[in-house]
Amino acid sequence: MSNQIKQQTYKKMQTVLSELPWYVEEYINHKTRKLSAASLLNYCHDYKIFFNWMISESLWDGQLKDIPLDRLEKLTVLEVDGFLNFLHYQLNNKEITVNRKLSALKSLFNYLQNIAETQELTSYINRNVMAKMEFNELKDSMETKANKMEGKILLGEEYEKFRAFIAYDYGELNKDNKKIYNFYKFNQERDTAIVSLILGSGLRLSELVNLDMDDIDFSKYSARVIRKGNKEQYVYFSQIAMNDLQEYLAIRATKYQVDKNNKALFISAPMGPKGKSRRLTARSVENLVGKYATAFGKPSLSVHKLRHSFATRYHSEINDVPKLRRQLGHSSIQTTMIYTHIRNDDLKSAVDKMDMPKDE
């Protein structure tokens, strides 16, 4: 903000302060070095609205400028609730705006109770009603949720890079650690197939670990899953996921010493004295994804974030929300709509190209 604008804002603030009680000006002076002139001007406007409301509600019979400290000390929770309702229902302030104005009042009252002192070294007020008031809980908008998610999922080239990291690069990274390397090589095909299937279908963790061999339809590139509400559905997956799955199935029976009666698709390494293989657990899948995500440099990645990664890419390439909703098994389309707010790198690249000079 330029000096000229600051000066103009300061003059406006002084004009509003001239209409407010003396202790407000003292508080504003206390905050001058800590807050911008624009913020302090907003505070002044908020206080003016509050004190005018007190007069309109007959909580003070007199001039706004003359409202004394002891009247503030006697305000009740019920009365302040009335002011907050006035902001919301009569002034049509959004919840975030109501919170901002309440924050301004909390700051003023905190100053009056805990910072300001009389000549006798006592507080201006002993009772602070604003300390009892709670802010509105704010629900994140779709865009806010999407922005929070954006840094925690795979976008653009990261999508294939993460799959390739599990299929090849993790081994190269740890080839000097024999224990880690051998464990990775043993589960290389299985782990690649697991991550590839999630990235290529958007399956939930519970759906993935409950898959049986018979649930895979190799001709239609689909998997039979039981979704929430005990609903049966066939979910399609990608060609890459199919290739990785077939590589895993080629070694599944022999490498994992699978009993013929064990129909689980994904199997754990033989454990226990008898070396018996079992269905891979949800916790095991979470752990292996976490291990690879940390080594990849995105420790916030999880199975659920891989599902989000699939949904984001699907929307950017297909742009069909109803189909995406069915693929993900969402009961409400509102849940699916979050992916329309994520700024995928591929989309950004396309938009960036619009600004490039074109040949005449």
Catalytic residues: 204, 228, 304, 307, 330, 339
As to burial, measured by CB atoms within 10 angstroms (0-12 exposed, 13-18 middle, 19+ buried), residue 277 is: buried
Between CA 360 and CA 211 the distance in angstroms is 56
E runs forming strands in 194-244: 216-217, 222-227, 231-236
Residue recorded with tokens 């609205």: 49
Euclidean distance between the first and final Cα of the chain, in Å? 42
3 state SS of 301: coil
Nearest CA to 192 among 304, 332, 48, 292?
292
φ, ψ of residue 244 to 5 degrees: the values are: -70, -35
Q: Residue 123: how many CA atoms within 13 Å on its side-chain side?
A: 13
Between CA 245 and CA 265 the distance in angstroms is 10
φ, ψ of residue 21 to 5 degrees: the values are: -60, 155
Q: Are 196 and 244 in contact (CB under 8 A)?
A: yes
Q: Are 195 and 240 in contact (CB under 8 A)?
A: no
> What interhelical angle do 3-17 and 37-56 show, nearest 10?
20
